[in-house]
Structure 1
Amino acid sequence: MMETMEIIETIAEACDDKRAEDIIALDMKEVSLVADYFLICHGSNERQVQAIARAIKDAVEENGIAIKRLEGFEQARWVLVDAGDVVCHVFHKDERSYYNLERLWGDASRVDLSIGQEG
């Protein structure tokens, strides 16, 4: 079984592979009962949002973890991918600033991600 931090890194890498923008992870343990971690990112159009969500689903399932739910995929404005301890929010860029989850969950601390640091 993968550790939660490994799951977060796997998801973040899947997002990065599909050119997701502004990928952040929040430690929600102290602020929410919904999940231990939120991962938030966005794509610039519906097709990219769907590609990111599909990549997350595939990456998680390849590691033997079932996706509990996948919501909003058809509209691709805000796709929620529930991987248990980690819930991913994949936004269309227009929706991301509108909902501004980072501000909404401002009490949550950010998790350092090791993606995109190779240069």
Structure 2
Amino acid sequence: MHKEDDVLSATHSAAAAAAPGQPMTVAAHTDYTSEELRDAVLSILDDNKADDVVQVDLRGKTSVCDFMVIASGRSSRQVAAMSEKLSEELKARFSIFAKMEGKDTGDWVLLDAGDVVVHLFRPEVREFYQLEKMWMPAQATA
């Protein structure tokens, strides 16, 4: 398996950790909802001064996740720090060991927390990819 193939891997708890070289499995969490997880992500990002936070409700549109959250940081350092803080908080609050890609460069960090996938960008990288436009409702033409 290539590193790129593992980007949207499942979250897991310590009890459900796979053996080395084996894929991770999703832990059955019933103590929180996807809405509570999304709200926690939004709160953590707000506490860490994320800019231009957008949430996209994907329920019924994809089986990958229920919500996508997209936010910007002012620099690569802030993007990397926000992703690290978010990962630590999700682990502490929900026992989620989120899969993270891109933290080393800090241009675009993907954090997979299962029901919520978070994309953190530097503003110019976010503008280039315009990720939220892929999932937003189509504009009605007059």
Fold match (TM-score > 0.5): yes
| Other-structure match for 1:75 | 105
The root-mean-square deviation of aligned C-alpha atoms, in Å, is 1.5
Pairing of 1:33-44 with structure 2 (within 5 A):
33-44=63-74
- Residue in structure 2 matching 1:24, options 29, 45, 54: 54
Deviations 1:41-98 (Å, cap 9, x if unpaired)?
0101011001110121112111133234100010111100100000000111111111
Count the aligned residue pairs.
108
Which segments of structure 1 move beyond 3 Å, counting only runs of 4 or more? Answer: none
Q: Which residue is 1:102 aligned to?
A: 132
Residue 93 of structure 1 aligns with which residue? 123
* Identical-residue share of aligned pairs (%): 31
Q: Which has more strand, going by share of residues?
A: 1
Question: Which residue number corresponds to residue 51 of structure 1?
Answer: 81
Alignment match of 1:7 (pick from 37, 41, 48): 37
Query: When the two structures are superposed, what TM-score results if normalisation uses the length of structure 2?
Result: 0.71
1:68–1:59 distance in 2 versus 1, CA, 3 Å = closer
Normalised to the residue count of structure 1, the TM-score between the two structures is 0.83
Larger Rg: 2
Q: Which has the higher contact order (CA 8 A, sep 6+)?
A: 1
Which of 35, 60, 63 in structure 1 is aligned with 2:93? 63
1:18 Cα deviation from its structure 2 partner = 1.3
